[in-house]
Amino acid sequence: MLPFTLHQLRILKAVATEKNFTKAAAVLYLSQPSLSKQIKILENNLDILLINRERNRISLTESGKVLLQYSERILALCEESCRVLVELKNGDRGNLTVGASQTIGTYLMPRVLALFAKNYPQINLKVQVNSTRIIAKKIIHREIDIAIVGGEISDDLKKSLIIEPFGLDELTLIISKSHPFTKKAKINKKDLYNLNYITLNSNSTIKNFIDNILIQNQIETKQLKTILQLNSIEGIKTAVSLGLGAAFVSSSAIEKEIKLQTIGIIKIENIKITRKLSIITNSECYRSKAFEFFYTKLIQLKNKIYLKKV
């Protein structure tokens, strides 16, 4: 048990400031007898004289001055803690962990975070980038608050998540600007067999998704010639720009290359490869003000980030 209360420390500070019991009592909306009683209780609890009472003048003793110094620090911290809690409640401060699957985390999420940080600089954002499955599990285990993913979510995870549409990401066939196919408005399905392909490794979710779409469009994927497998989109884009082959990549990953005209885009007749992007959250988690602000910003931004609306 402490020998003083915050109320008593506030009284001591008011007495030291006003140098008068009656004025100090008025500042704190107390009666003068009530204030005097609290000072007496404080002195008794500490077994120390804190205030010199000489005729109509009062002053702090050396012990009173020491306690006043600590009182001011204690009260300042209390006021700060209350202010921070109010700011946290209002969303002015807070921590938020955001997740994203690989391509989204590399090319889309930085733009979203930059726009959000301009409006809410006090909110501390942490980002985790991983496979869709791992991100979904982290949402369920409450290690991540909210995420944007592009891969399919398995049924065993779906039941524990809230999944909302965010947009459509087109997977575009890109090739070197010097390739003859760039002069065509569109190529047909048979032309696909005349290209050399650069892909992600066979375990890639995106590669498997692309293959499935091509198979659905009667393309024999086993007959497509893969000459190179790389482990990053950046490596694939560089290889394509150097004329080593063609590749399917997310439209969100090639904005810079399109502006710089370092690659060409090929349209395929009657084939369009798109995948759904989703916002995922945990239905059982508390939604802080920071969460609500970020979620609202995502909804506002989803039509402004070069993605096609669902």
The CATH number given to whatever domain includes residue 11 is 1.10.10.10
**289, amino acid identity:** K
Per-residue pLDDT band for 50 (boundaries 50, 70, 90) equals very high
Gap between the Cα atoms of 280 and 286, Å rounded? 14
Same domain flag for 157 and 295: yes
Say if residue 160's pLDDT is above 50: yes
**How high is the pLDDT of residue 307?**
47
Domain boundary among 58, 88, 118: 88
Same domain flag for 158 and 183: no
Same domain flag for 83 and 99: no
Q: CA distances (Å), 189 to each of 15, 39, 209, in order?
A: 88, 91, 18
Distance of CA 180 to the CA centre of its chain: 43
Whether the CB-CB separation of 252 and 169 falls below 8 Å is answered with: yes
Compute the average pLDDT of residues 173-202: 93
Same domain flag for 294 and 163: yes
Gap between the Cα atoms of 248 and 265, Å rounded? 10
Same domain flag for 148 and 281: yes
Helix, strand or coil for residue 289?
helix
* Structure tokens given for 136: 């979904």
Residues 241-257 pLDDT 10s: 999 999 999 998 998 99
Compute the average pLDDT of residues 42-54: 94
* Phi-psi region at 220: left, alpha or beta (left = phi > 0; alpha = psi -120 to 50): beta
Highest averaged pLDDT of the listed ranges 53-62, 65-74, 283-292 = 65-74
Compute the average pLDDT of residues 53-73: 92
Gap between the Cα atoms of 266 and 272, Å rounded? 11
Q: Is 309 part of a structural domain of the chain? A: no
* Structure tokens given for 235: 């490596």
Domain boundary among 62, 88, 114: 88
Per-residue pLDDT band for 304 (boundaries 50, 70, 90) equals low
Q: Is 310 part of a structural domain of the chain? A: no
pTM above 0.75, yes or no: no
Same domain flag for 290 and 162: yes
Q: Is 200 part of a structural domain of the chain? A: yes
**How high is the pLDDT of residue 309?**
41
Distance of CA 152 to the CA centre of its chain: 22
- The angle formed by the CA atoms of residues 19, 22 and 28, to the nearest 5 degrees, is 90
Per-residue pLDDT band for 187 (boundaries 50, 70, 90) equals very high
Same domain flag for 209 and 257: yes
- The angle formed by the CA atoms of residues 97, 251 and 189, to the nearest 5 degrees, is 140
Residues 105-144 pLDDT 10s: 988 898 889 889 888 888 899 999 998 999 999 999 889 9
Average pLDDT taken over every residue of the chain: 90
* Termini Cα distance of the chain: 61
**120, amino acid identity:** Y
Whether the CB-CB separation of 87 and 93 falls below 8 Å is answered with: yes
The CATH number given to whatever domain includes residue 214 is 3.40.190.10
**How high is the pLDDT of residue 136?**
94
Q: Is 306 part of a structural domain of the chain? A: no
Say if residue 18's pLDDT is above 80: yes
**How high is the pLDDT of residue 305?**
56
Gap between the Cα atoms of 10 and 95, Å rounded? 32
Structural domain count of the chain: 3
Q: Is 307 part of a structural domain of the chain? A: no
Q: Is 51 part of a structural domain of the chain? A: yes
Q: Is 187 part of a structural domain of the chain? A: yes
Per-residue pLDDT band for 178 (boundaries 50, 70, 90) equals very high
Domain boundary among 33, 68, 88: 88
Same domain flag for 54 and 113: no
**How high is the pLDDT of residue 119?**
87
Domain assignment of residue 137, given as a range? 94-167+276-301
Same domain flag for 253 and 286: no
Per-residue pLDDT band for 1 (boundaries 50, 70, 90) equals confident
Same domain flag for 38 and 27: yes
Q: Is 133 part of a structural domain of the chain? A: yes
Same domain flag for 228 and 176: yes
Same domain flag for 210 and 221: yes
**How high is the pLDDT of residue 46?**
96
